[in-house]
Chain A
Amino acid sequence: MTKYLTLIFKNLLRSKRRNILTILSIAVSLFIFSVLVSLPTFANQMLADTTSSVRIICRTKMGLAYPLPVAYKPKIAAIPHVVAVAPLVIYGGIYHEVSDQFPSVATEAAQIDMWSDWGLTGVDEFKKIKTACLVAEGTMRRFNLHVGQQIQLRGTVYPFNVTLTIVGTIDKGPVPSFLIFRHDYFEEAAGSPGIAHEFWVRVDDSRVVPEVCAALDNQFANSSAETRSVSEAAAIGGILGRYRIFMKLAEFLGLVAVVAIGLVAANTAAMSIRERRSEIAVMRSIGFPSGVILSLLVGESMIVALSGGVIGCGVAFGLFKVFALNADALGPFVSLHVPPFVLAETLAVAALIGLFSAYVPARAAAKRSIVETLRLVD
């Protein structure tokens, strides 16, 4: 096939403007496709990552504004299958300006291993230093922070500021932009209120999660602070559920973009092949089999479509990289990226556009009577 490459590339160069425009239109549509398809894929991946989670989030029934007494901790720890309990306080401070806000929480230093699967670094220092904090990668990048740096957060909910030293980072996990510091520092600064907005509970087996959730809520039923416990997967699913309709719409629009550009590419391929029908007839008359002609024409079309696909994927990939630097507004999607699967899928779609747009006109040209074609053209 390599000996035909010169022929293929020379044919591609015969109408540069048309091919460049076709490549760009395919690139734009596949950029849209890869971006739109990335959203549900990313969300599904987030959910899949937490399906086997052994963590439970226990909050008050009345909502996050109402804290639970930290004294619940030993009662929770006593429930069968519970292996660790971490109280979490939502501090809600701001860094520099109001617009520089990101989630900041406090937890017990000894329980930081609760989130060991989130790629924590500097855990040892966190356990040693009372003012230590760990900062998620997204926040580190956004404010150009570095390990060892001292930062101050101004309290908005609580009337005090905290001065923290970054001792490590949080490299992955479902919340890519936040900060976590020590609960004992919070208690000291707040005057020991003895509260927790959430308890994160780890159990010994993911299969007992529903059972432990029920036991937790039963434990505190009819108390002054009743609880509602959900699995980590359900909590994330709840957040993502708000975006579900947009994700379906995104998938549909991605498909529409592909179909639309497929029709445009088919029209372009048909025009291109029609213009060359006499050449095709001549090539067949000098012995080129129909199969080779078909392969050459479809090959040209696939090169055009794949070029568009590569450009579209590249732009989408690069754009998300830029967004990821400073896009807390994307909420749980702040670490949105084009997954390798979607990149492969987009390139496969590009190849299919190339294949199907050219196949019908190319096959017709490769099969048409040589005599009739030469007579019509002459």
Chain B
Amino acid sequence: MNATDDIITEESSAVTLDHVTRTYKRDEFEVRALDDVTLDIPRKSFVAIMGPSGSGKTTLLNLVTGIDHATSGRVAVGGEEISTMNEREIAAWRARHIGLVFQFYNLIPVLTAFENVELPLLLTHLSKADRKTHVESALKAVGLADRMGHYPRQLSGGQEQRVAIGRAIVTDPTILVADEPTGDLDAKSAEEILILLTQLKTQFDKTIVMVTHDPRSERFVDTVYRLDKGVFIGAEKGGASTKATAALQISA
């Protein structure tokens, strides 16, 4: 493990987890999905959260996006503490700051690529013309400008995931969060998606947090954060890193 030496401040962090624990009740058992995790993810970096099944990767992602709450500890994203927000506040915050990409794309099947990408913009006060401009830009950015009128069933898996990425970036969120974005794709499509995410990071200065099992991802990211059995074991440089990008505080 090559832990980085640079200490990053909360101001320069996109994500800060401070002694975060998440436990679930499963019948009479208590499952500790995350156990006292403390880490920082710097802004404008492309990081991967890796670990075996059940290591707490997706739980960590859910906490970062605010769709789940920590049992204890503090979660701050873009300098805002989200652990204390109520449901309405967190929904509004998520709409503004988070772009989500799922493993199975999760597009709305009755909407075209254009309408799927437009979906998050319906929550804004943008006019129809402005929404159209934003959607066209997003679809152009993911290379699907010529597929706007296509329904998900008319697209390949890779194209569907591109639409999902378009939907995630259309609001220009602070952080793009991807849960196994290549998990349902063939090798070629998976590589295309990873290249696209890398481009989004470099061209648009996005912070991208990706949960993945895919070892090929390591060469595209700046830092790999590893979890095992809910415990953060450390961070190491990814293939895209030219310098240390993350500081970590391994939980005790």
Interface residues in chain A, defined as those with a beta carbon under 8 Å from any beta carbon in chain B = 3-4, 6-7, 10-11, 13-14, 278-279, 282-290, 292, 369-371, 374, 378
Contact = CB atoms under 8 A, between A and B. Distances in A.
- Point out which of A4, A278, A287, A292 has the most chain B C-beta atoms below 10 A from its C-beta: A287
B85 interface: no
Contacts of A7: 111, 115, 119, 122
Contacts of B167: 286
Closest 10 CB pairs of A and B: A287-B95, A282-B106, A370-B67, A10-B110, A289-B91, A287-B94, A14-B110, A371-B68, A286-B120, A285-B67
Contacts, number: 65
27 contacts: A6-B115, A7-B115, A7-B119, A10-B110, A14-B109, A279-B106, A282-B100, A282-B102, A285-B94, A285-B100, A286-B95, A286-B100, A286-B168, A287-B94, A287-B95, A287-B96, A287-B120, A287-B123, A288-B95, A289-B87, A289-B88, A289-B92, A290-B87, A370-B67, A374-B102, A378-B103, A378-B104
B58 to A, nearest CB: 8
B62 A371 contact: yes
Contacts of B104: 378
B152 to A, nearest CB: 11
B92 A287 contact: yes
B122 to A, nearest CB: 5
A283 B128 contact: no
A290 B67 CA distance: 13
Given A288-B91, A288-B123, A370-B68, 11 more contacts: A4-B122, A11-B110, A13-B110, A282-B102, A286-B100, A286-B120, A287-B95, A287-B98, A292-B123, A369-B68, A378-B104
A279 B106 CA distance: 7
B103 A290 contact: no
B198 interface: no
Contacts of B103: 378
A278 B115 CA distance: 18
A77 to B, nearest CB: 77
Nearest to A279: B108
Contacts of A282: 100, 102, 106, 108
Given A7-B122, A279-B108, A286 B94 contact: yes
B55 interface: no
Nearest to A9: B110
A369 B68 CA distance: 8
B65 interface: yes
B173 to A, nearest CB: 10
B interface, over-half SS: helix
Contacts of A278: 106
Contacts of A288: 91, 95, 123
B65 A285 contact: yes
B109 to A, nearest CB: 7
Contacts of B91: 284, 287-290
B110 A371 contact: no
- Point out which of A4, A11, A369, A374 has the most chain B C-beta atoms below 10 A from its C-beta: A374
B237 to A, nearest CB: 30
A14 B98 CA distance: 29
Interface in B55-72: 62, 65, 67-68
Nearest to A10: B110
Interface string B67-99: 110000000000000000001100110111010
Contacts of B111: 7, 10
- Point out which of B68, B92, B94, B110 has the most chain A C-beta atoms below 10 A from its C-beta: B110
Nearest to A371: B68
Contacts of A284: 67, 91
Contacts of B110: 10-11, 13-14
Given A10-B111, A286-B94, A286-B95, A3 B88 contact: no
A3 B122 contact: yes
A13 to B, nearest CB: 7
Given A279-B108, A370-B67, A286 B122 contact: no
Contacts of B128: 3
Contacts of A10: 110-111, 115
A289 B120 CA distance: 11
A3 B103 CA distance: 28
A288 B96 CA distance: 11
